[in-house]
Chains A and B, each alone.
Chain A
Amino acid sequence: MIGMVMFGVALLMLMLGFPVAFTFGGVALFFGVFAEGMDLFAFMPYRIMSVMQNTTLMAVPLFIFMGVVLQRTRLAEQLLTSMGRLFGGLPGGLAISTILVGALLAASTGVVGASVVAMGLISLPVMLAHKYDKRLATGTICAAGTLGQIVPPSIILIILGDVLGLPVGDLFKAAVIPGVVLIGLYIVYILIMTRLKPETAPAMPDDSGLSRKQEIVTALLAIIPPLALIVVVLGSIFSGIATPTESSALGGVGAVVLALIYRQFSFQMVWDAARDTVKVTAMVFAILIGATAFSMVFSYTGGDYLLEEWMLQLPGEKWGFIILAMLVILVLGFFIDFVEISFIIVPILAPVAEAMGINMLWFAILIAMNLQTSFLTPPFGFSLFYLKGVAPPNVQTTDIYKGVLPFILLQMLVLALIVIFPEWFGMSSSY
């Protein structure tokens, strides 16, 4: 019971806006000391130590570093300009090239913020200048940028791998098909929209002065670097040359090499990238430590057993549980972000899923798809904030909210497909 009250109090306190990590830690401290005494917190050093020795999570700072360095190579810019030239002449072409660039960036890194900001700065003004519908333009950018979290390598998948005890490489592999399907559906949606409402995404007149052949060559040249990185990172993981953590270091060094090739390298650049990485890493791990304290108090006061028993008795058994789990994650995703959900909610759901004989890999992909949606759902979707931060003033927050709606629906459609037809995605729902 104490656990449930603590949960409620923590959610209320979060709304005050104090940093999430310390709100969880602080609330846990009061309830823990009250229920079990100070000595409960003698466990904390052991728990922190097990995070310190956790080589799976070591991939988190390394992949972030790779993404941040990549952002500074101006790779996204080159891709967007050349792809825009290549497809811009078609109706909806700019939106489709945004999706394709988003997919390429997604497969070479896992950093959503960088992709959304880059596309918001480059792609959005071009689309708006060519009379694209604001909603379609902003929705496309947010959705394309968010692909980074479902297409491997991805921070969500690494964290889920750790929390659910699954090999991160297997999760990466399992996420490939859902990611590709999602990208395909985005493109299909844009094509249908441009058919139904041609005025929302008009073709762009060709004014680059380049011949078609030159356009193709520049586009190909721009695609080589991210492809090379994808081969190094995903290739080394899938072929077994390196563990995900090791390949993230290969990617980090690879990104620095790309910066050298693009003449963007400087020691200051690497240092700035390191600083940004440390900040984001610190934020993720602070939440992890706060969540650890919170879960510790929750489980030592018996909250986990209570919830577990309740969930095991849900009507509809496995399906009832899956629906509940997905709804809980979706709703919480409106308010808190994927890190808290992964570290606090998923560990409560996991043993129940296991007890019900659910295939954990499939379950993890469902959670990852669902968490991805939280990047797009107002009011706390990160992608929305990033885009609003760099969008011109005439783009209203409500435009962005309305713009992402169809993409949220597409994500939920894919989620539903994975639930109902796991075999289409190369998985099975149970063992």
Chain B
Amino acid sequence: QETFTLKMAETWGPNFPIFGEATKSMAEMAEKMSNGRLKIRIDSANKHKAPFGVFDMVKAGQYDMGHSASYYWKGKVPNTLFFTSMPFGMTALEQYAWFYYGDGMDLMQEVYEPHNMLSFPGGNTGVQMGGWFRKEIKSLEDLEGLKMRIPGFAGEVFAEVGVNPTNIAPGELYTALERNTIDATEWVGPALDLRLGFQQIADYYYTGWHEPATELQFLVNKRVWEKLPADLQEILRVSMRTAAYDMLIQSQHENAKAWASIKKEHPNVQIKTFPDDVFQAMYAANKKLLKEAAGNDELAGRIVKSLESYQEDSRAYTNIADRAYLNTMAEVEGDE
């Protein structure tokens, strides 16, 4: 029987926790389930040297597969933005429901089709934290002129309310924050933030709003996909779906662990939520920018509409289920 070896480029460096584990577990599953007929060889960023070239390299066929995040391609294909996470958007569970049972997968495929690729959900981080701030944000004025590392759409929302979004390479982030080159930075969540050491230099850790459910992505070159026999296609699809969902579970586990250790070892760190006026202004800015984006082209309009209506329906249920339960718990146990 024919053996297939697929080369996969990931955006992450070698041994990158959680994200890198998702690709490794996907490759292991595929190989075991196919009894060795489907092998996936993973090249990390240190090998292909083009962390943000994954889209192009899979499109051109230099790699058969990729693991990255859809919003990184926003500069190339604006509509890829919507498939990672949107400010004030859905939670991981809601978003997975949109992908697998709503229109998510179909719309995503419509975006990637012209580029000769298939895109699949690639693992979720859960709610990302709003970032590390060295000064407390007490009102909208405190954001005026604030220098913050925050990329993408959320950066544009922040820019609307007076923040100066800046670009800093991840390797220089800690130093930049420590030395006031920037006033604030967002990264991911406790597990990954802890590694960069922000807890040592910033006291205010803000709760999330900008990436409530960041979904990574698997990319597969279409010709490669079509060459695979049907059983291997199915094995690959199931491996990707399992690895993706498993990453969300692992994120929960690792974040909880990391948060416990930050609380214990860095009592200086205070959890904060932006004040009301900030959220009101950002919410309005987000609505406005989203409307502009939706007006850009027909497909963008359909995606935004699908996202908004799915979120509305899904949230109505989340509110009477998860939210009601958490509220009850908070009341029973008292605020902590």
Question: Can you offer 29 A-B residue contacts whose CB atoms are under 8 A?
Answer: A39-B62, A43-B48, A43-B50, A43-B57, A46-B49, A46-B50, A46-B53, A46-B56, A46-B57, A50-B49, A50-B50, A50-B51, A55-B169, A55-B172, A56-B171, A56-B172, A165-B13, A167-B172, A167-B174, A169-B179, A170-B175, A239-B179, A240-B181, A241-B181, A242-B181, A243-B181, A292-B49, A299-B47, A351-B14
Structural contact, B181 and A46, CB atoms closer than 8 A: no
What residue in chain A is nearest B47 (Cβ atoms)?
Answer: A299
Q: Which residue of B lies closest to A237 (CB)?
A: B179
Cβ contacts under 8 Å, A167 to chain B: 171-172, 174-175
Chain B's interface size range is 20 to 34
Number of interface residues of A (CB under 8 A): 23
A39 to B63, CA, bound (A): 11
Within 8 A of A (CB), among B4-34: 13-14
Residues of A contacting B172 in the complex (Cβ-Cβ under 8 angstroms) = 55-56, 167, 243
Whether B176 and A46, one on each chain, are in contact in the complex, defined by CB atoms closer than 8 angstroms, is: no
Q: What is the bound-complex CA distance between A170 and B180, given in angstroms?
A: 16
A50 to B179, CA, bound (A): 26
Contact partners of B169 in chain A: CB under 8 A: 55-56
Q: Does A42 contact B (CB under 8 A)?
A: yes
Once the chains are docked, how many angstroms separate the CA of A167 from the CA of B172?
6
| Residue A47, interface by CB 8 Å | yes
Q: Within the complex, what minimum Cβ distance (angstroms) separates B199 from chain A? A: 18
> Closest 8 A-B residue pairs measured CB to CB?
A240-B179, A46-B50, A46-B53, A47-B49, A167-B175, A42-B62, A50-B49, A169-B175
Does A420 touch B at the CB level, under 8 Å? no
Contacts of A241 in B (CB 8 A): 179-181
Is A196 in contact with chain B by the CB < 8 A criterion? no
Check A49 for interface membership: any CB of B closer than 8 A.
yes
Is B171 within 8 A of A165, CB to CB? Answer: yes
Main secondary structure of the interface of B (DSSP, over half): helix
Distance between B293 CB and nearest chain A CB, rounded to angstroms: 25
Binding site for B on A (CB under 8 A): 39, 42-43, 46-47, 49-50, 55-56, 165-167, 169-170, 239-243, 292, 296, 299, 351
Q: Which residues of B contact A49 (CB under 8 A)?
A: 50, 53
B254 within 8 A of A: no
Residue of chain A at shortest CB distance from B170: A165
Residues of chain B from 38 to 81 with CB closer than 8 A to chain A in the complex: 46-51, 53, 56-57, 60, 62
B160 at the binding interface (Cβ < 8 Å):
no
Query: How distant is A412 from chain B, measured CB to nearest CB, in Å?
Result: 31
Given A47-B49, A49-B50, A242-B181: A42 and B60 interface contact (C-beta under 8 Å): yes
Q: Which chain A positions have C-beta within 8 A of B56?
A: 46
Interface residues of B in 156-185 (CB under 8 A from A): 169, 171-172, 174-176, 178-181
Chain A interface helix/strand/loop/mixed: helix
| A237: min CB distance to chain B, Å | 9
| A-side contacts of B178, CB under 8 Å | 240
Q: Bound state CA distance, A241 and B176, in angstroms? A: 9
- Which of chain B's residues have a CB closer than 8 A to the CB of A39? 62
Residues of B at the A interface (CB closer than 8 Å) are 13-14, 46-51, 53, 56-57, 60, 62, 169, 171-172, 174-176, 178-181
Contact B175 A43 (CB under 8 A): no
Residue of A nearest to B181 (CB): A243
Contacts of A296 in B (CB 8 A): 49
A243/B176 contact (C-beta < 8 A), A42-B60, A56-B169, A167-B171 known: yes
B residues less than 8 Å from A299 (CB atoms): 47
**CA A229 to CA B126, docked complex, whole Å:** 48
- Which residues from chain B contact A43 at a C-beta distance below 8 Å? 48-50, 57, 62
Q: Which residues of B contact A47 (CB under 8 A)?
A: 49-50
Closest B residue to A39 by beta carbon equals B62
CA distance A49 to B57 in the complex (A): 13
A213 to B5, CA, bound (A): 79
B171's nearest neighbour on chain A, judged by CB, is A165
Q: Which of B48, B56, B60, B176 has the most CB of A within 10 A?
A: B48
Smallest distance from the beta carbon of A52 to chain B beta carbons, Å?
11
A55-B172, A167-B174 provided; 20 other pairs, C-beta below 8 A? A39-B62, A42-B62, A43-B50, A43-B57, A43-B62, A46-B53, A46-B56, A49-B50, A56-B169, A165-B171, A167-B172, A169-B175, A170-B175, A239-B179, A240-B175, A240-B178, A240-B179, A241-B180, A243-B175, A299-B47
Q: Name the CB-closest residue of B to A292.
A: B49
Q: How far is the CA of A169 from the CA of B51 in the complex (A)?
A: 24
A47 CA to B53 CA, complexed, in Å = 9
- Identity of the chain B residue whose Cβ is nearest the Cβ of A238 in the assembled complex: B179
CB distance from A358 to the nearest CB of B (A): 15
Residues of B near A292 (CB, < 8 A) are 49
Separation of A49 and B48 alpha carbons in the complex (Å)? 12
Tell me the complex Cα distance, A351–B50, Å: 18
Residues of B within 8 Å of A55, CB to CB, are: 169, 172
CB distance from B220 to the nearest CB of A (A): 19
- Cα A422 to Cα B316 in complex, Å, equals 61
Q: How far is the CB of B130 from chain A (nearest CB, A)?
A: 24
Most chain A Cβ neighbours within 10 Å, of B172, B178, B180: B172
Chain B residue contacts of A46, Cβ below 8 A: 48-50, 53, 56-57
A43 to B180, alpha carbons, bound, how many Å?
Answer: 37
Q: How far is the CB of B331 from chain A (nearest CB, A)?
A: 45
Nearest A-chain residue to B14, judged by Cβ: A351
Instruction: Tell me which residues across on chain A come within 8 A of B174, comparing CB atoms.
Output: 167
Which residues on the A side are within 8 Å of B180 (C-beta)? 240-241
In the complex, the chain A residue whose C-beta lies closest to that of B56 is A46
Complex CA gap A55/B175 in Å reads 14
Which residue of chain B lies nearest to A170 when distances are taken between CB atoms in the complex?
B175
> With the chains together, A165 CA to B46 CA distance in Å?
10
* Distance from A261 Cβ to chain B, minimum over Cβ atoms (Å): 29
Name the residue on B nearest A169 (C-beta).
B175
CA distance A165 to B51 in the complex (A): 14
Q: Which residues of chain B come closer than 8 Å to A50, judged between CB atoms?
A: 49-51, 53
Complex Cα–Cα for A169 and B50 (A): 24
Chain B residue contacts of A42, Cβ below 8 A: 60, 62
Q: Which residues of A contact B171 (CB under 8 A)?
A: 56, 165-167
Q: Roughly how many angstroms separate A296 CA and B46 CA in the complex, as a whole number?
A: 10
Complex: A43 Cα to B53 Cα, angstroms: 9
Measured CA separation A43–B49 after assembly (Å):
9
